[in-house]
């Protein structure tokens, strides 16, 4: 019987195993989330970094070959940040940010604050529908690690 592959034990562990470009982006994302959610608890869930407030999950993030992602994005979140999210790919509750562009730290802070309010209100979230980016990027950036 094959032994189950173990994942990272901490957010530091997850970030440290990433290639340099992904590592730099995730460090900036992490700082933005923690700035917006002072006192948030960091954990690993589903083998990716998770940020919790009062024991409840607010955001996940993960690095990929050409992008990093934030999860979950609800219909309400996407509608609230419609103009700011227009250049990014939205797919089944995921926001994809390309590694080729600077990390939008202020936007990520606002998303974290918004998600924290959704969670504190106890709202059930519905995944935002898939939407391709409007600017000249490849239509499909779903690369595997």
The verdict on residue 36 lying in a domain is: yes
**Domain housing 65:** 11-120
pLDDT at 142: 42
The verdict on residue 134 lying in a domain is: no
The verdict on residue 98 lying in a domain is: yes
The verdict on residue 126 lying in a domain is: no
- Closest by CA to 90, choosing from 128, 44, 48, is 128
The verdict on residue 44 lying in a domain is: yes
Structural domain total, the chain: 1
Please check the confidence at residue 125 and state whether its pLDDT lies above 60. no
pTM of the model: 0.81
Tens-place pLDDT, residues 13-34: 999 999 999 999 999 999 999 9
The verdict on residue 54 lying in a domain is: yes
Please check the confidence at residue 137 and state whether its pLDDT lies above 60. no
CATH of the domain at 80: 3.90.1150.200
Q: Strand 56-63's sheet: what is its strand order?
A: 41-45, 48-53, 56-63, 67-71, 94-98, 89-91
The verdict on residue 4 lying in a domain is: no
The verdict on residue 27 lying in a domain is: yes
């Amino acid at each position: 019987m094959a032994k189950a592959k173990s994942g990272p034990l901490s957010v530091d562990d997850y970030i440290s195993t990433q290639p340099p470009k992904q590592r730099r982006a995730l460090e900036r994302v992490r700082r933005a989330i923690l700035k917006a959610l002072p006192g948030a608890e960091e954990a690993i869930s589903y083998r990716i970094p998770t940020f919790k407030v009062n024991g409840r999950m607010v955001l996940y993030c993960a690095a990929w070959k050409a992008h990093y992602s934030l999860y979950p994005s609800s219909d309400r979140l996407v509608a609230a940040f419609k103009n700011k999210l227009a250049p990014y790919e939205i797919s089944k509750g995921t926001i994809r940010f390309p590694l080729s562009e600077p990390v939008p730290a202020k936007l990520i802070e606002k998303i974290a604050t918004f998600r924290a309010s959704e969670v504190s209100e106890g709202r059930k979230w519905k995944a935002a529908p898939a939407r391709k980016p409007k600017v000249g990027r490849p239509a499909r950036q779903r690369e595997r690690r």
